[in-house]
Amino acid sequence: NHFIVIKESTLNIPKVPAPFATFLLRIPLAVMFLQQGLSKFPVNEVTAEAFGLPFIVWWFVAYGEVGSAIGLIVGGVFGILFTKGLLSELADLLTRFSGITMTCVVTGVIWIMMPDSLIDVITRDYLHVSLYVGGLYFALRGNAKYGL
């Protein structure tokens, strides 16, 4: 009998708890959405028309970008501070709602650009794809918990 014995690694690299690690993902995503949202203020009909959008859609885009950025950070902070109970659950919901809002906004942006195909978006529009996937991650995952 010939058995290959795999020795356990002696290299122990400490791991940062998941809530802190995922918080680092939130920062650039939130900054991008906050920057884009604030650049739309003051929200007015002239700018909405320049993009070919009804004012109400432009309003939701601007406030959705700012709100989702703030919500993503606040949801993460509360998720770190409160690990159980109602505040923990509300923080998770805020994170998920912010992620859903981000994916909706980016979907609209991609749609307005009228790409030729999905492959065209994936291969040429890495920024919006990255923002979409970031929002989708938090929409599906919510807040990371300690020890999971």
Per-residue model confidence as pLDDT tens digits over 99-132? 999 999 999 999 999 999 999 999 999 999 999 9
Write the burial class of residue 100 (CB in 10 Å: 0-12 exposed, 13-18 middle, 19+ buried): middle
pLDDT digits (tens, 9 = 90+) for 54-81: 999 999 999 999 999 999 999 999 999 9
Q: Which residue has the tokens 């912010």?
A: 98
Structure tokens at 39: 């650049």
Residues with Cβ within 8 Å of 79's Cβ and at least 6 positions away in sequence, in order, are 19, 88, 91, 92, 95, 143, 144
Confidence of residue 9 (pLDDT cuts 50, 70, 90): low
From the CB of residue 138, how many other CB atoms can be counted at a distance below 10 Å? 27
Q: Which residues contact 63 (CB under 8 A, 6 or more apart)?
A: 37, 43
pLDDT category of residue 11 using cuts at 50, 70 and 90: confident
pLDDT over 80 (residue 4): no
- Band (14; pLDDT cuts 50, 70, 90): confident
Which of 147 and 45 is assigned the larger pLDDT?
45
Stretch 80-89: mean pLDDT: 95
pLDDT at 87: 97
pLDDT score of 7 more than 70: no
Mean residue pLDDT across the chain: 93
Long-range contact set of residues 144-148: C-beta below 8 Å, sequence gap at least 24: 144/18, 144/19, 144/21, 144/22, 144/79, 145/18, 145/19, 145/83, 146/17, 146/18, 146/19, 146/83, 147/17, 148/18
Mean pLDDT in residue range 9-31: 89
CB of 94 within 8 A of CB of 75? Answer: yes
